[in-house]
Structure 1
Amino acid sequence: MKILHETVQTIPRLPFKYYEHDPLTDINVAPHWHQGIELNYLVSGTTLKFVTDGQTNEYRPGDLWTTNRRVVHSASGPTEVDWVEFGLIIDDDFLQTQIPASANWQLTLNGAASSKTHPQAYADVRQQLVTIHDLLTTPTTDLLRLQILSYFYQLLVTLGQTFTVPLTATGPLSIK
């Protein structure tokens, strides 16, 4: 099985790639990796199998999860399901410039378990991500870009304060 490197193209003048599952395509995503941190939200569908560094997690509608930088991951689920799923891939250069300590972040946002452990922060991340999603449906003006960034920065703060642990010297292996 070939593992691909995804070159992430950010939205012009925004420090992330936004993606939304195309309902006309398969939900299955081949193993790949990228430099940036990924934040996913499964709005509706059924159980989605998400493999990260060989470990399979199952996510259900309403679940949020992150994928750490340079980690091989893939997704699979039934093809006949009406999936609604979207998320962001955060530009790593931007993140490390704004938050140098993020170079040592190991993200821990992992679906229902995180929702139970940190219900308010989990709800905050969901609301921030949904608001960004909604704002991106209109043409981006300078003021709208600032509004999107205000939610994006708050999302980074919430992730950093609640859903990270420092990497250890013997932490997970990753592709560089």
Structure 2
Amino acid sequence: MAGDKHELIQLDELPLHIKIHHHRNDSEVPAHWHQSIELSFTIRGQIDHFIIGGVDHQTHPGEILIVNTQIVHSVRNRIHTKDDLMLTLLFPYPLVLQVFPKIDQYFFELGSLSKLSLQQVAQYHHLQDLLTQITDIKLGKESDFKNIELTILSYQVLETLLKYFLKPRKNNSQLSHNLVITGHLRNALDYIQGHYQEPFSLQEIADSCHLARQYLQRIFRENMGCTLGEYIKNYRAQKAYQELTTTTNTFTAVAMNNGFSGVRSLNRAMVNNYGQTSRQIREGSSAPD
């Protein structure tokens, strides 16, 4: 995540990723997807926008979110304190398939506690305990047994998810449909990221994807949690922010380099996205003199 401090480890005996996030500033993970199963656990603080498949979640301490394979998700966090602490686990799909060969026929669902059965509520609390232990061990002192402890606990998390939080897919075409949709979205994102420095229309994006503009706009909004136009504005703002904080280019040059019509539109984007003007961002950064 941009603006946060985290560690990434890959266990030798288990291809599992564990991330610990200490948020310090505004942080953002752009919309993306992957084959892995992702689990997010908010320990302290909150995430004010965790968008999964177009649904916007605001987390609170103790909340667990899960992202199924090939589901678009993004994170935008502006409400933060120095004590914010989050955990992310990424279970590679081949691992899940190895231990549960029927996974293609199911998906994970962790709803709100009020919608869970009594058995699921008890297992939800069990998951919270396991994830808290993983966090404590990860943040604790090094030991010869650290990796095996993390491995065992991670397998217990996966076992609990598989036993108590699986739902059958309506049919196998559901997963195939997700793959088709993410393919269309990847094409649209590739076009935007390759042309953000120049003017272009939504129709040009749709034409590059060989899709009707209305259809592309609909699937983009449903899966990305924002409109095509909003994504373009946000992407240009992110690239401009990076340039403002890492170079001494003039504000006019930054605007032109990132698809803005001028300094006024650049400033408007900076205020909307970061709450500061270009000058305030530059003055508060460590850009080279």
TM-score by length of 1: 0.80
What's the CA shift for 1:19?
A: 0.9
What's the CA shift for 1:41?
A: 0.7
| Aligned residue in 1 for 2:277 | none
**Cα distance, 1:103–1:145 mapped onto 2, change above 3 Å:** farther
Deviation digits for residues 19-60 of structure 1 (CA, Å, limit 9, x no counterpart): 122333433221111111011111222452211121222222
| Aligned residue in 2 for 1:139 | 142
- Are the aligned partners of 2:9 and 2:19 in contact in 1 as well (CA < 8 Å)? no
Q: Any idea what SS the aligned residue of 1:20 has?
A: strand
Q: Which amino acid in the other structure matches residue 166 of structure 1? A: P
Q: Any idea what SS the aligned residue of 2:111 has?
A: coil
What's the CA shift for 1:166?
A: 1.6
TM-score by length of 2: 0.51
**Larger Rg belongs to:** 2
Deviation digits for residues 64-109 of structure 1 (CA, Å, limit 9, x no counterpart): 1111011110112325534211120111111111211223331111
Q: Distance in 2 between matches of 1:161 and 1:40?
A: 19
What's the CA shift for 1:159?
A: 0.4
Q: Any idea what SS the aligned residue of 2:123 has?
A: helix
What's the CA shift for 1:114?
A: 5.7
Q: Distance in 1 between matches of 2:87 and 2:117?
A: 22
Q: Distance in 1 between matches of 2:153 and 2:11?
A: 15
Q: Distance in 2 between matches of 1:150 and 1:115?
A: 26
Q: Return the match for 2:161 from 149, 159, 162.
A: 159
**Cα RMSD (Å):** 2.6
Deviation digits for residues 119-138 of structure 1 (CA, Å, limit 9, x no counterpart): 21001111111112222234
Q: Judging by fraction of residues, say which structure has more strand.
A: 1
- Are the aligned partners of 2:19 and 2:89 in contact in 1 as well (CA < 8 Å)? yes
Gaps of 5+ in 2: 1-7, 184-289
What's the CA shift for 1:116?
A: 7.1
- Are the aligned partners of 2:113 and 2:121 in contact in 1 as well (CA < 8 Å)? no
Q: Which amino acid in the other structure matches residue 38 of structure 2? A: E
Q: Judging by fraction of residues, say which structure has more helix.
A: 2
Q: Any idea what SS the aligned residue of 2:149 has?
A: helix
Larger mean Cα displacement after TM superposition, 14-23 or 108-117: 108-117
| Aligned residue in 1 for 2:210 | none
Gaps of 5+ in 1: 1-7
Q: Distance in 1 between matches of 2:86 and 2:157?
A: 18
Q: Distance in 1 between matches of 2:162 and 2:112?
A: 17
- Equivalent pairs, count: 168
- Are the aligned partners of 1:52 and 1:74 in contact in 2 as well (CA < 8 Å)? yes
